Amino acid sequence: MISLDEAREHVLARVAPLGPVELVLDEALGAVTAAEVVATEAVPPFVNSAMDGYAVRSADTVGAPVELKVVGMIAAGAAPDGSVGPGEAIRIMTGAPMPGGADAVVLVERTRTEGDVVTIEITVEPGTSLRGVGEDVRPGDVVVAPGTVLTPGHLGVLASVGVERVAVHRRPRVGVLSTGDELVTSGPLGRGQIRDSNRPTLLALVREAGFEAVDLGVVGDDEASVTTAIEQAVASCDAVLTSGGVSMGDLDYVKVVLDRIGEMRWMQIAIKPAKPFAFGTVGEVPVFGLPGNPVSSMVSFELFARPALRRMAGRSDLHRLTVPAVAPDGLRRSADGKVHFARVVATQEAHGWSVRSAGGQGSHQLAAMAAANALAVLADGNGVAAGDTVPTMLLGFG
């Protein structure tokens, strides 16, 4: 057996970010920038009011309260058609450009108006309630660095400086293939048949991770059919996931075909579940051979495929968030030379995180995996006693 770290390093060393594409901003949420974006415009592009109020000469407010003559109004989006002279004020709205002569805004709440006369109740300093040119962004500023995961805020900043398209790493297109004569996708089960749960699960995991999932269907136990399916998959996808046929001694056509047309490493990893795992390439396309048991398949995806796909998407934060969590009831196990990933329900409480078993821990017990929202990482030994702390990988976070 090899260690988890060795297996991860082997996989991650053999994948790289996909080449850049340009996306319109509406399609770029969650994508990773492939180059820096430099502002060519100032934000704001002109001095404007930060509040609804009155544009004034600050010198005219000394000794407030004072009365000033209202000589106009400026709304947001309108260009000033006059200026403020001594003893005058102009009504102004938030975001509207400042008129000539004015150097401050008095909040409307600190004024009283009667006809065309406004009473200013406070003295203001020059620059009060103004937004200066380039106060947020100046020309030449790097508004988005390479390797940035684009959030709604980033997209807003890009739009504010006139960027309509952004260069990002292409999101991986990931094919998911199931093989086996025993698999049924619909209808009643025949003798010895089972329903294919791995493919729908893996397709959903790929989509949840933010990548394009391609359903490659189910292929029977026939070498020619498996060969055709895999060759078509690597021709149309950036990565391929298969499940089953990776255990030592398995007589499976996926293994036969991948050994013939690809460069694969078949591993036994010192973890439970998900001990068997295969990884390699067909041409330049990564192929992940995940275990056939449904829980093992999901855990293997989380530990190996998901981090690798995130690297292909240009991300540097590859792994799920792991936090210390208290196990109030303990999490027991037997020593067997492996790290165990226990399916648990994690709850955030006043003192931090706590975890309790989600149910059955067999690699075939998918219902308990569905109930879990975390994996407690149990080092080789007898597990953790009640009240002890255990490292816990949070599913759905990071």
CATH number at residue 140: 3.90.105.10
Last residue of a domain, one of 270, 289, 312: 312
What backbone torsions phi and psi does residue 149 show, to the nearest 5 degrees?
A: -80, 115
Which pLDDT value is given to residue 149?
A: 97
- One domain, residues 260 and 387: no
Which pLDDT value is given to residue 390?
A: 98
Give the pLDDT band of residue 86 (cuts 50, 70, 90). Answer: very high
Angle, in degrees to the nearest 10, between helices 253-261 and 223-236: 50
Which pLDDT value is given to residue 7?
A: 98
User: Is a pLDDT exceeding 80 seen at residue 53?
Assistant: yes
195 located within any domain: yes
CATH assignment of the domain containing 303:
3.40.980.10
CA dist., res. 355 & res. 373, Å (int): 10
- One domain, residues 183 and 295: yes
- One domain, residues 222 and 357: no
Q: Considering the entire predicted model, what is its pTM?
A: 0.89
- List helix spans (H) across the chain: 4-12, 152-160, 198-208, 223-236, 253-261, 294-300, 306-312, 366-371
**Tally of structural domains, the chain:** 4
Pairing of strands 331-332, 37-38: unpaired
Last residue of a domain, one of 312, 337, 372: 312
- Chain centroid to Cα 357, Å, comes to 27
Which pLDDT value is given to residue 249?
A: 59
- List helix spans (H) across 341-386: 366-371
- 3-state DSSP call for residue 241? strand
125: left (phi over 0), alpha (psi -120 to 50) or beta: beta
- One domain, residues 271 and 224: yes
218 located within any domain: yes
Which pLDDT value is given to residue 292?
A: 87
| Mean pLDDT value across residues 131-141 | 97
Query: What is the percentage of the chain residues whose pLDDT exceeds 70?
Result: 98
Looking at residue 252, its amino acid is D
- One domain, residues 308 and 184: yes
CATH assignment of the domain containing 83:
2.170.190.11
Rg of the chain on CA atoms, in Å: 31
User: Which residues, at least 6 apart from 378, have a Cβ–Cβ distance to it below 8 Å?
Assistant: 331, 333, 339, 340, 341, 342, 384, 390
Residue 352 forms beta bridges with which residues?
Answer: 349
Last residue of a domain, one of 288, 312, 336: 312
User: Which residues, at least 6 apart from 279, have a Cβ–Cβ distance to it below 8 Å?
Assistant: 7, 10, 11, 14, 264, 265, 267, 286, 287, 288, 289, 304
Which pLDDT value is given to residue 342?
A: 96
- One domain, residues 276 and 378: no
Instruction: Tell me the pLDDT tens digit for each residue of 281-339.
Output: 999 999 999 998 899 999 999 999 999 999 999 999 999 999 999 999 999 999 999 99
Instruction: Tell me the pLDDT tens digit for each residue of 152-170.
Output: 999 999 999 999 999 999 9
CA dist., res. 83 & res. 100, Å (int): 5
- One domain, residues 301 and 333: no
317 located within any domain: no
Do the beta carbons of residue 374 and residue 392 sit within 8 Å? yes
242 located within any domain: yes
Which pLDDT value is given to residue 190?
A: 81
214: left (phi over 0), alpha (psi -120 to 50) or beta: beta
Closest by CA to 106, choosing from 87, 92, 86, 88, is 92
Looking at residue 271, its amino acid is I
Q: How much is the mean pLDDT over the chain? A: 94
Give the pLDDT band of residue 379 (cuts 50, 70, 90). Answer: very high
60 located within any domain: yes
381 is in which domain, residue-wise? 322-394
Which pLDDT value is given to residue 251?
A: 59
306 located within any domain: yes
- One domain, residues 199 and 300: yes
| Mean pLDDT value across residues 382-392 | 97
* Terminal-residue alpha carbon distance, the chain: 29
Q: Residue 103 has which token pair?
A: 């150097």
217: left (phi over 0), alpha (psi -120 to 50) or beta: left
266 located within any domain: yes
Measured CA angle at 362 (ends 359, 365), to 5 deg: 70
Give the pLDDT band of residue 196 (cuts 50, 70, 90). Answer: confident
Query: What is the percentage of the chain residues whose pLDDT exceeds 90?
Result: 84
CA dist., res. 107 & res. 86, Å (int): 19
User: Which residues, at least 6 apart from 175, have a Cβ–Cβ distance to it below 8 Å?
Assistant: 214, 216, 233, 236, 237, 239, 240, 241
- One domain, residues 146 and 127: no
- One domain, residues 284 and 183: yes
- One domain, residues 83 and 115: yes
User: Is a pLDDT exceeding 80 seen at residue 63?
Assistant: yes
User: Is a pLDDT exceeding 70 seen at residue 248?
Assistant: no
- One domain, residues 60 and 194: no
Do the beta carbons of residue 300 and residue 366 sit within 8 Å? no
